[in-house]
Structure 1
Amino acid sequence: MTLRSLFGKPATVQYPAEQVPAMSYEHMRGHVECDMDTCILCGMCQRACPVGAIAVDRKGGTWSIDQYRCIQCASCTRECPKSCLSMGTSCAPATTDLAVTTLHKPVEEKPATGEGASGAGAEKPARKKVRLTPEQEARVAAARARKAAKEATRADV
């Protein structure tokens, strides 16, 4: 063993100068990557993060992560409904400052129709019809019946 380590390659590298190829560690969890084109800013990753490293601002259209707070557990990638989060295979680059990585959602421009967005000629976008299961339909019907009964009792009083 001593002769083998004497004449063999060292097991360590001088990190900032040399880097180990990412393919040598197949299942390595390097850092969280987010595809903002598919992200819907739902905040499920923020709720799933055990250390609170992820912050989602739906109104501002931003998704941010504190790479130095993240423990690479991949909880956020499993909870993402759109699968826009993934674990990169490379390590975060060496740095001297602790910065938060913030990504911005591209703002989609809404085409103006008719007399403006709030004018009488503006058309509302069509809502996508959602199909409910029979159990969900029964719950919705029961809720509507309770609401109608409550409104009827208020009208009687």
Structure 2
Amino acid sequence: MTDGAGLSDRELRTWRTFLGVATVLNQQVEQQLKDTAGLSHPQYEVLARLSNAPDGELRMTELAGIALTSKSGLSYQVAQLEKAGLVQRRPCATDERGIVAVLTEAGWAKLRESAPNHLALVRSAFVESLSANEFAALTAAVDALGTHLGLTGETVTALRVQS
């Protein structure tokens, strides 16, 4: 049933379930990273993205383009990681106005230590909760949503986590 301009009961139920699933998964990931690595999810994502970059470094503007947080949120997370000795910021060699975030040896070690637990949670809570056919359908649906919302292949690739 729909009023013409709104969502059908099925559409509304699916939307609300999607929001609920995303919230619960984010809470589980956040808690697991806090408990096992002493990191927030955005901090882990910064480390993971830097690990995928050449030499473990990215300009802050590039990092902001693929971050799951606002630019001010990214600056805060990088500052926290810098205080913990996991990331360093330095001037960009090719642009005196640019700043580069660099993964330190301690940052590499923290990521290597925390990635197995994080990936195990993703596998158990997300991947293995669906049949192969359900996961294939979800992949297709999420890819379609990503395309519709303007996520580029480069952005999605940058979200990849190395273990």
TM over 0.5: no
Higher helix share: 2
Greater percentage in strand:
1
TM-score bucket (shorter structure): under 0.3
Determine which structure has more spread, i.e. the larger CA radius of gyration: 1
Q: Greater RCO between the two (CA within 8 Å, min separation 6)?
A: 2
TM-score by length of 2: 0.18
Q: What's the TM-score, normalizing by structure 1?
A: 0.19
